Structure 1
Amino acid sequence: MLEPAAADLFDGQSAVRHPVTLLWQPDGLAVTQADGAAELVPDSDLTLVEHRGDRLVYGHRDRNGWRLLVPVDAPPELLERMPQGFKYGGVIDRLGLIRASVVLGGISAAIVAAVMTAPSWLGPRVPEAWEQRIGSALVGDLQQFTCSTPESDAALAALTRDVDDGKSPITVQLAKIDMVNAVALPGGRVLLFDKLVQEAKSPDELAGVLAHEAGHVRKRHVMQALLRQFGLSILLSGANSDIGGTLGGVAAMGYSRDAEREADEWSRMRLAKADISPAATAAFFGRLRKLDPTAGNKQLSYINSHPDSGEREQAFAKAVQPGKAYRPALTLHQFAALKAACKKDKKAREWSLGWPK
């Protein structure tokens, strides 16, 4: 037979403590005061508020300030029917620790995956007008670092027409930068570095490199790389126009190996349409291969974001069609005009190592 258990009650109407006895009935908890006044509290109305020293404190769902203080050593048959507290938290206690861990782990993995893959699916969806504004804010006006003569401008325009599809204009400029490189910038801009032009053995090499950078523009790789490097803040808060810092960061952006391969495929496709031989571009990558410490080492080459130079050399070499009559990308006069542009343009300032001189 169940025995009444002693407890204390604060009814929420006053600060007076009322000694009570508790006894579970079929319809709820009978709470009886010393004067005999009793009420039946449904178990669904009881909530565990806290564990206070040697007392368990229960509240009433519909009565603010109502508190029932039950000794922790009350009869087990009484405490077993009282509301139990949460051990870890509502959701975890409802699901169980193991199941909740699996669910929360899956949610976390999905969030991480969304963040990691965001540049790939969000980049191509950024309007080109937005990208142009971002590009202007990031790198500003590059005119002071570009080399321009009437002859070199005409040669560069002719080369651009051959290696780009012309659906929307891209701006190609020759930059006075002492580095064998070229870079695609936000907003449909491409920079050919003067050091690359000086090292080129033929205009066909420049055509392959320029077509590659145009491929990055057309495949929206530039916006993807920006999102990957600078995060969504570039879309939400814009960017400053510190050319010395941001141009260096943009020039140093890395593309994924898949993006580099896509740009190479674009380059081979455009060279084929323009009847320009890919053999010169293959030779260019052959020279890079000899300078690349990871060349031929598959394990090391996959650490680099670029595909192995030897792999790229072979891909362009295989694209050469035996017996096909190719034409030069530029005339000797046009090629010479490009090589001489930065020497003739006395207004062009040199830019290197991320800071203008």
Structure 2
Amino acid sequence: MTETQSHAPTFADFVAGERAVLTRVSVRLLADGLELVQPNGHSMIWRWAELRAEPDQADKDVLVISRSGDKVARLYLRDKNVEAQLRSSAPHLKERDRAISISKLMAWAGGAAASVAAIIFLLVPMMAAQLAVMLPPEGEKALGDTTFEQIRYALDETGLVGTPICEAPVGNAAMRAMYDRLNPSSDLPYDIQIHILDHDMVNAFALPGGRIVFFRGLIEQAENPEEIAAVLAHEVGHVVNRDPTRDALRSAGSLGVLGLLFGDFAGGTIALFLANQLINASYSQTAEAKADDYAHELLDGAGVSPAALGTMFERLVAEHGDAEGIVAHFMSHPQMGKRIAAAQAAVVESRTYGSVLDASAWRSLQTVCDGSSALQADEGLPDKKAWPGDD
């Protein structure tokens, strides 16, 4: 090998990477690269084509050189004359060494995605199911109480007083009578409390700790008390199966994992919401189907036709249609057509079903959010009983 210059060797600091120790080495410029000679006489050649300049160094007076394919070895060069010769001789000095191949990067990304999927779809639901059983009743009730108040204030347009709770005594007595007629025999660690919110939303849901919430809009939408009883039986099924607590824990875990991945970027909130809906859809659909099965048995045992659970669904399908294809995966409930068919199939042909409330009690329930309903007489209702959860 011949040297490109005849001047005496310069010196630089070298670290091999095995230990954080700098070694003083002599550096000579050769025709095909740099020769590094260590104090023990050992020498090595770094070829011009292998040399890379490391970026973003704090000390601008030092040129830090690495070698393509070597992730740890570094040469710290301060001689400006040698640096100038090196910059003109090393053709790839400013290039970045691609240490990871695309295929390897894709393999790592696939493994990371599989790990996240395992956490979200397997570990989080499993832990949520275990914690829902282990969580003390006081903890569930506290969670349900807090969530209930948050919902009330979120639905209130002013955000100041919260959506009103319908307090008409006769209307609430009708709901109590309906619950007594269903007579759930589950051994829950807490009493079931039923609230009716003065809001036009057509919905009902269960919260952790035994709270069941109806909206005025659902009661107004119903054509008969059996439909409300069917919805009530369905929500009791969720309470019995601890679905509200399990879902709250699962959603918190899933969003927490997704938040760590996506952060708070533009549009990130929407992405997290859609991802969480897709993640929870299959579990929610399973829970809804089980709650429907529970409601069918509870209604049949109370002498109320299980088909009542499907009649309101039929009107919703007629008005809005049923979810098909990818839309169905983002719905928290199974397809309406399947739920209607299941409700009709649960009817025992040889059994005679009756009404859950008489006409007077049904009118009282329909006007439960009307302040004037508090003045109605208690006609048509059974003797008042202490309602679970009442003070």
Q: TM-score range by the shorter chain?
A: 0.5 to 0.7
Aligned pair in 2 of structure 1 residues 258, 21: CA closer, same or farther (>3 Å)?
same
Pairing partner for 2:149 from 140, 163, 167: 140
Secondary structure, aligned partner of 1:190: strand
Q: Which residue of 2 aligns with 1:350?
A: none
Letter in 1 for 2:179: T
**Match among 223, 229, 244 for residue 207 of structure 1:** 229
CA contact (8 A) 1:184 1:217 kept: yes
Distance 1:72 1:66 in 2: 10
- For the pair 1:310 / 2:332, whether they are aligned, the reply is no
Looking at structure 1, the residues matched to 353 and 171 of structure 2 have their Cα atoms a distance apart, in angstroms, of 23
Q: What's 2:37 paired with?
A: 31
Q: 1:278 to 1:3 in 2, by over 3 A?
A: same
SS at match of 1:174: strand
Q: Percent identity?
A: 26
Where do 1:9-20 residues align within 5 Å?
9-10=11-12
- CA shift, 1:102, in A, is 0.5
Distance 1:185 1:5, change over 3 A: same
Distance in 1 between the 2:328 and 2:13 partners? 72
Looking at secondary structure, tell me which structure has more strand per residue: 1
Distance 1:63 1:199 in 2: 75
Q: Alpha-carbon deviation of 1:227?
A: 5.4
**Distance change (3 Å), C-alpha of 1:42 and 1:327:** farther
SS in 2 for 1:257: helix
**2:279 paired with 1:269:** no
Instruction: Return closer, same or farther for 1:18/1:189 CA change in 2, 3 Å cut-off.
Output: closer
Shift of the alpha carbon at 1:344? Answer: 4.2
* Secondary structure at 2:188 match in 1: coil
Do the aligned partners of residues 318 and 346 (structure 1) sit closer, same or farther apart at CA in structure 2, a change above 3 Å counting?
A: closer
Q: Secondary structure at the match of 1:341?
A: coil
Q: CA deviation at 1:203?
A: 2.4
Distance 1:86 1:217, change over 3 A: farther
Counterpart-to-counterpart distance in 1, 2:315 and 2:13: 89
- What are the Cα deviations for residues 114-151 of structure 1, in whole angstroms up to 9, with x where unaligned? 34667644543242544433333333286972223444
Give the total of aligned pairs: 294
The 1-side partners of 2:13 and 2:217 are apart by 87
Partner SS for 2:234: helix
Amino acid at match of 1:177: H
Q: Which moved more, 1:254-263 or 1:273-282?
A: 254-263
2:238 matches 1:216: yes
Rounded Cα–Cα distance in structure 1 between residues aligned with 2:140 and 2:123 = 16
TM-score by length of 1: 0.61
- Aligned pair 1:328/2:355, yes or no? yes
Structure 2 counterparts to residues 221-260 of structure 1, below 5 A: 221-223=243-245, 224=247, 228=251, 231-232=255-256, 256-260=284-288
The one-letter amino acid paired with 1:40 is G
Alignment partner, residue 311 of structure 2: 283
Which stretch shows the higher mean deviation, 312-321 or 138-147? 138-147
Q: Provide the alpha-carbon RMSD of the alignment.
A: 4.8
Alignment of 1:68-79 (within 5 A): none
Unaligned runs of 5+ in 2: 15-23, 45-50, 56-62, 90-94, 153-161, 258-272, 375-391
Instruction: In structure 1, list runs of 5 or more residues that go unmatched.
Output: 24-28, 33-37, 76-84, 234-248, 348-357
User: Could you report, residue by residue, the CA deviation over 1:192-233 in whole angstroms, capped at 9, with x for unpaired residues?
Assistant: 222322343332211111122223333444342685489349
SS in 2 for 1:40: coil
- Structure 2: how far apart are the matches of 1:10 and 1:303? 63
Q: Which amino acid aligns with 1:323?
A: S
Query: What's the CA shift for 1:325?
Result: 3.5
Superposed displacement of residue 321, structure 1: 0.6
Maintained 8 Å contact 2:237/2:291:
yes
- The code of the aligned residue for 1:231 comes to L
| Alignment deviations for residues 247-288 of structure 1 (CA, whole Å, 9 cap, x no partner) | xx9xxx996433332332222232234342212223222222
Q: Provide the rounded CA distance (Å) in 1 between the counterparts of 2:169 and 2:231.
A: 22
CA contact (8 A) 1:30 1:40 kept: no
Contact kept? 2:199, 2:217, Cα under 8 Å: yes
CA distance in 2, matches of 1:301, 1:50: 52
Pair 1:167 & 2:212 matched: no
Query: Is the contact between residue 56 and residue 72 of structure 1 (CA under 8 Å) also seen in structure 2?
Result: no
Query: Following the alignment from structure 1 to structure 2, what is the Cα–Cα distance between the partners of residues 326 and 188?
Result: 28
SS at match of 2:342: helix
- Three-state SS of the structure 2 residue aligned to 1:39 is coil
Q: Which amino acid in 1 is paired with 2:335? A: D
In 2, the alpha carbon distance for the partners of 1:4 and 1:181 equals 85
> Is structure 2 residue 172 aligned with structure 1 residue 153?
yes
Measure, in 2, the Cα distance between the counterparts of 1:298 and 1:66.
67
Match of 1:98 in 2: 103
Could you say if the C-alpha distance between residues 30 and 209 of structure 1 is closer, same or farther in structure 2, counting changes exceeding 3 Å?
Answer: closer
Distance in 1 (CA, whole Å) between partners of 2:302 and 2:345 is 17
Most deviating of 134-143 and 311-320: 134-143
AA matched with 1:137: T
The residue type paired with residue 143 of structure 2 is: I
